[in-house]
Amino acid sequence: MMLHIPGVLTPEQVADMRRRLDQSQWVDGRATVGPQGAKVKQNRQLPDTSPLGLELGQVILQALADHPLFFAAALPLRTIPPLFNCYAGGEHYGAHVDGSMRRIPGSGQWVRTDVSSTLFLSDPDEYDGGELIVTDQYGEHEVKLPAGDLILYPSTSIHRVQPVTRGARICSFFWTQSMVRDDLRRGMLLELDQNIQSLRAKVGDSPEMVGLTGLYHNLLRQWSEV
């Protein structure tokens, strides 16, 4: 399941992050991947332990906590503190799949990567290229979103970032361990939840609505690994 989640950050939040990130010190992005990823990755990132990155990451995590669509789609149990990257001057990231497990920096806790997220901090007209290409059973999907918007997709997907030939593509990216490991089940729960919300807005509560709500929660109870 791929999902575009608009307006995770406000324009004011994006502008503040960009102002501070534009003054930051980026490092070689290959430092955060294994040997296979290092062969195809050419970009810059903030270090995992960057005080600025940790501070801005907390702003993003709070915004996600306040965004009901992200919760409904990801059903988050744990989320890796957001990281930040920059692509410019032809930088790119070739086809790869995200590692299945990541350690939360500064802790011994591991997170299973069920859901990958890219939060765009540059508007599409600020740069050429830089499309996120996600491949699934239906083909290739090209993603280039407005600043403040997020794309969510299964971490099992092969994906790549096209070379940036003009300007700079600045994003935050992170991984979430979901309460529901299986992507198909997460997708069905999201569809059920959205239909319940739509019906409730049209007809209000009724015994049938209570029954559907109960079905949603009983499925979540059955499928969750919490």
pLDDT of residue 226 exceeding 90, the answer is: no
Confirm whether 3-178 and 183-223 share one CATH topology: no
Q: Cα 82 vs. chain centroid, distance in angstroms?
A: 9
Tokens 């739509």 identify what position?
198
How does pLDDT run across 71-99, given as a tens digit for each residue? 999 999 999 999 999 999 999 999 999 99
pTM (whole model) above 0.75: yes
Q: Which residue, among 103, 119, 99, has the nearest Cα to 111 in the 3D structure?
A: 103
Give the separation between CA 99 and CA 210, rounded to whole angstroms.
40
Q: Is 217 labelled as part of a ligand binding site?
A: no
- What does DSSP say about strands 115-120 and 3-5: parallel, antiparallel, or unpaired? unpaired
- The helix-helix angle for 11-21 and 51-65 (nearest 10°) equals 170
Are the C-beta atoms of residues 75 and 188 closer than 8 Å to each other?
no
pLDDT of residue 37 exceeding 80, the answer is: no
Give the separation between CA 37 and CA 184, rounded to whole angstroms.
27
Average pLDDT of span 181-206 = 96
Give the separation between CA 60 and CA 135, rounded to whole angstroms.
26
DSSP-based three-state secondary structure for 154: strand
Residue type at position 42: Q
Residue 33: pLDDT band by 50, 70, 90 thresholds?
A: confident
The alpha helices in the chain, defined as continuous H runs, are: 11-21, 35-38, 51-65, 68-74, 183-203, 207-223
Q: Which residue, among 55, 46, 121, has the nearest Cα to 84 in the 3D structure?
A: 46
How does pLDDT run across 5-21, given as a tens digit for each residue? 999 999 999 999 999 99
Q: What share of the chain is helix, strand, coil (3-state, %, to 5)?
A: 35, 30, 30
What is the fold, at CATH topology level, of the domain defined by 3-178?
Answer: Jelly Rolls (2.60.120)
pLDDT of residue 164: 98
pLDDT of residue 32 exceeding 80, the answer is: no
Q: Is 125 labelled as part of a ligand binding site?
A: no
Q: Is 221 labelled as part of a ligand binding site?
A: no
Give the separation between CA 94 and CA 140, rounded to whole angstroms.
14
Question: For residue 221, with 0-12 CB atoms within 10 Å meaning exposed, 13-18 middle and 19 or more buried, which class applies?
Answer: exposed
Domain extents for the chain?
3-178, 183-223
- Cβ neighbours for 41, distance < 8 A, ≥ 6 positions apart: 29, 30, 33, 93, 94, 96
* Candidate CATH numbers 3.30.420, 1.25.40, 4.10.860, 2.30.110; the one for domain 183-223: 4.10.860
% of the chain exceeding 90 in pLDDT: 92
Give the separation between CA 134 and CA 53, rounded to whole angstroms.
25
Q: Is 96 labelled as part of a ligand binding site?
A: yes
Tokens 């109960």 identify what position?
214
Give the separation between CA 207 and CA 197, rounded to whole angstroms.
15
